[in-house]
Structure 1
Amino acid sequence: MIGLDKIDLAILRALSEDSTATNIEIGKQVNLSGPAAFERIKRLKKEGVILGTRVDIDADAIGLPFLAFVFLKTRGSGKRKQVNSLEKIREIEEIHSTAGQFSILLKVRTKAAKDMEDIFEEIYSVDGVEASETIIVFQTFMTRPVFIELEP
């Protein structure tokens, strides 16, 4: 951890639970004034601890209920070129570097299973992608923000 104190961690926890909370609300939760909380949050952003704020969207509600995780086997040692190409496929929500038989893990969300065929066409057009294995998600039971332990 990069010199974070208990107040910084409490601010991060509060923001991870509700990123729309005001500086005053955050300040009350961590025993700071609103302006002091604002300055802390500004510093955490500047230091790269807070990468951004996001909205948690119900994918079913917007017509994107199909979720799959795709493991990719690639040839060559450098993944950066493949990652740069994969980032252009808008249905890919996450790209992870992995160890083991597969070197890249993708989180892909679409309207329906049939849409995956077009996405696979794009994936396999990426130079170096040799094989894949797909896991289809039937239901997501839980997601949570990063756990922030307040006691170091």
Structure 2
Amino acid sequence: MSDHEHTSTHIDEVDRSILKILQSDGRTALSEIARRLDMGSATIHERVRSLEEQGYIREYRAILDPKLLGIDQVAFVQVETTAGRFSEVAERLAEHREVQEVHEITGDFDLLLKVRVEETDDLSEFLSKLGESDGVRKSSTNVSLRTVKEDGRLDLNGQ
């Protein structure tokens, strides 16, 4: 089954409730989820395993504070690529440690990158490498002055 064939219609309200709890705190014990949903632990364990196998849950990880770690310089870089090469360039740019996100987009540019670095010098160095990258025609950079909201959680309430 392809990713496009996998839609939220394949999960029920219990699965959706499990996903909401784990998305809020991935360390929530399965026994606690079972208690909250008034279900057996074995049932919750099986459902979570199934959600993992189906790809609804990709991974579990801690969300770190970039400001406390000193990696809080954020820039959004639009990239125009040589005709027909945007996917190849996107894959290559995704390998850079500074690049947190790569999106293929519509409009005047082909790619949108979210880049996070410690210092503006690091951003300058990255942009120099980007400008010399094979398949990159031009780029435009916007430096974030302040992050008002940054949340990777999905809104499961409206479904």
Check conservation: 1:69, 1:134, Cα contact below 8 A: yes
1:1-152 aligned within 5 A = 1-144=8-151, 145-149=153-157, 152=159
SS in 2 for 1:121: helix
RMSD of aligned residue pairs (Cα, Å) = 1.5
CA distance in 1, matches of 2:144, 2:78: 14
* Structure 1 range deviating more: 71-80 or 8-17: 71-80
Check conservation: 2:85, 2:135, Cα contact below 8 A: no
Q: Is there any run of 5+ residues in structure 2 with no aligned partner, and where?
A: 1-7
CA distance in 1, matches of 2:57, 2:49: 9
TM-score by length of 1: 0.91
Give the deviation of 1:123 after TM superposition. 1.7
Check conservation: 1:85, 1:126, Cα contact below 8 A: no
What fraction of aligned residue pairs are identical, expressed as a percent? 26
CA distance in 1, matches of 2:89, 2:30: 40
The residue identity in structure 2 corresponding to 1:135 is N
The residue identity in structure 1 corresponding to 2:60 is T
Deviations 1:85-133 (A, max 9, x none): 1122101011111111111111111111121111112222322111111
Which is bigger in relative contact order (C-alpha 8 A, separation at least 6)? 1
TM-score by length of 2: 0.87
Give the deviation of 1:25 after TM superposition. 1.4
